[in-house]
Structure 1
Amino acid sequence: MSIASAVLAGVIFLAGVAMFQDHLLYYPERASVEEMQVVSRGLAAWPTVSDFRGLLAEPDVPARATVIVFHGNAGHAGHRDYYAEALAPLGLRVLLAEYPAYGPRAGSLGETSLVADAERTISLARELYRGPLLIIGESLGAGVAAAVSARQRDAVAGVLLVTPWDKLENVARHHYPLLPVRSLLRDRYDSVTNLASFGRPVFVAVAERDRIIPAHFGQALEAALAPPKRLSIIAGADHNDWLLRVDDHWWRAAIDFLLAGEAGRSPG
């Protein structure tokens, strides 16, 4: 192969990476609302079936806060009913937000689309429910949560980030060290910058043996944050099994930390 041919092949390859990066970052699963409800064991469509934005679990007692969960890059919100199982018994209303182009929802993929849609979800939740609002983001959802919490700072009482990164660029460089990722990436998900002036409690949970988003990226994010903040390293956990390594005490401690500044407010 000539030098010119090699250069051309390289350019074509890089152009392909740039064009198809959505397929490297997002793995949406399409499903109807009814199928998602079956998978989630009967959670309610929110706010309605016709205007579907996620799945809702109400606690058995008056909710002391509302939690909006932004999930990881694969599947759909119906696969995340474990958040409802963990948090509803703590007296929390749990909303599993769905992204555009996931599940039954129309829309486009990408940071701009997902974060703008997350803003609308938060605004609607604030209209419908009283009391504190907490945001949880897992993996890709941690990037969405960081960005939307910065934009909706006055509406958000605290944020829990599970297996997060500091900047998507750093994770991309870790996995593709030979590529000029800074030039190729369209979506940035720069959580360090997004949360730089957030000023609300942030609980950062990293998986000690995470092979997808290595723990040091989440630790770097926590180190860059201003107080109040807390870091939890989930011992022995990989990216997708962290849930099996936390218990009710862990969940309660995380939520109590996030709500510490909200004591005395009436339930919604």
Structure 2
Amino acid sequence: MRSNKRCMIGVQSLERPLGSTTKKIIFFFLGAMLMGCNHLFYYPDNHVYFNPETSPLKFESGFIKTDDGEQIHYWDFAPQPDSYRGTILHFHGNAQNMSSHMFFVVWLIEFGYRVVTFDYRGYGQSSGHPSPAGLVKDGQAMIRWLCKNARSPLTVIGQSLGGAVAMPSITSVESHCIQNLVLESTFASYRDMARDKLASFFLTWPFQYPLSLLVNDDWAAIHTIHEIEVPTLVIHGESDPVVPFKFGQEIFDRLTMAEKEIWPMPEAGHTEAFVPDSPVRSRLIDYLSQWPKSGM
């Protein structure tokens, strides 16, 4: 998810300039009733915000086929061979596409990490239309491909919506090659997120429970968090206006493995952990350095 410009259900759908409060409410109710709410979590486009071909970055572009036949577009950025430490698989947020989100992780190349990022179905050049089940299939396809084409360690980083997709993706495939999981500004339940946004607007507050039931939570991470077995780091801004800190704390509390950490970020907003000059960048490098490096 991209900061708070184009974000979660209720933020864009209730705050976009539709002309009047009545139109806003009608838009939300019709969207909820006709499309089951989940579509309001996705704001893809195919605009190229940054073309890596115009940069000195060494990368490959390709497509992976999912189990249900969709073509998922990815970029694979390589570090200097003599500096390699591991592979990063990045699950990006809910708006735009990977070309606008890659800057959250591409800096890791300088520290010896191969960085692979991809677009969910319906985003960028990937085929299809986004849905909770579909995005998990996309994540599964990428993990399977990397498990066959890269040695451990493999670190999965999920930001905002990306974390909500990454968690069920790694618990529903043979993910022996995953070394650890990093979650930033994310949530475990689409329904709970919808309820939180409905509760924040006085005209929809009375309907927060019945309307949130229209959101399909079948593929939500809340059902599988307890199955995550790899070391997991949760990072969350304590002043996040899009995905409130309580959702990150809930994920941490539901994790059952011994090797788990949570890094609260005082006064930080949404997905601010890896922006330039963030002190969390160096902390992440130290955290990842706990695990041994291996070949690409």
After TM superposition, the score normalised by the length of structure 2 is 0.75
Give yes or no for contact 2:191–2:216 (8 Å, CA) kept in 1.
no
Give yes or no for contact 1:169–1:181 (8 Å, CA) kept in 2.
no
Give yes or no for contact 2:186–2:247 (8 Å, CA) kept in 1.
yes
1:234 shift after superposition = 1.6
Aligned to 1:119: 140
Aligned to 2:254: 224
For 1:49-198, list aligned pairs within 5 A. Answer: 53-62=73-82, 63-152=84-173, 153-177=175-199, 178-179=207-208, 180-198=210-228
**Structure 1 17/128 Cα, relative in aligned 2: closer, same or farther at 3 Å?**
same
Q: Secondary structure at 2:264's aligned position in 1?
A: strand
The answer to whether residue 250 in structure 2 is matched with residue 250 in structure 1 is no
Give yes or no for contact 2:72–2:121 (8 Å, CA) kept in 1.
no
- Identity over aligned residues, as a percent? 23
1:188 shift after superposition = 4.8
How large is the RMSD of aligned CA atoms in angstroms?
A: 2.8
Give yes or no for contact 2:98–2:118 (8 Å, CA) kept in 1.
yes
Aligned to 2:265: 234
Give yes or no for contact 2:235–2:273 (8 Å, CA) kept in 1.
no
**Structure 1 182/49 Cα, relative in aligned 2: closer, same or farther at 3 Å?**
closer
Can you list the C-alpha shifts for 1:198-223, whole angstroms capped at 9, x where unaligned? 22101000011001100011011101
What is the CA–CA distance in structure 2 between the aligned matches of 1:216 and 1:22, rounded to whole Å? 21
Count the aligned residue pairs.
Answer: 252
1:160 shift after superposition = 0.4
| Higher share in helix | 1
1:72 shift after superposition = 0.3
**Structure 1 87/40 Cα, relative in aligned 2: closer, same or farther at 3 Å?**
farther
Give 1:196's aligned amino acid.
H
Give yes or no for contact 1:166–1:191 (8 Å, CA) kept in 2.
yes
In the alignment, structure 1 segments of 5+ residues that lack a partner are 1-9
After TM superposition, the score normalised by the length of structure 1 is 0.83
Deviates more, 1:196-205 or 1:51-60: 51-60
Deviates more, 1:203-212 or 1:145-154: 145-154
Q: Secondary structure at 1:204's aligned position in 2?
A: strand
Deviates more, 1:238-247 or 1:156-165: 238-247
1:81 shift after superposition = 2.5
In the alignment, structure 2 segments of 5+ residues that lack a partner are 1-24, 66-70, 200-206
1:130 shift after superposition = 1.9
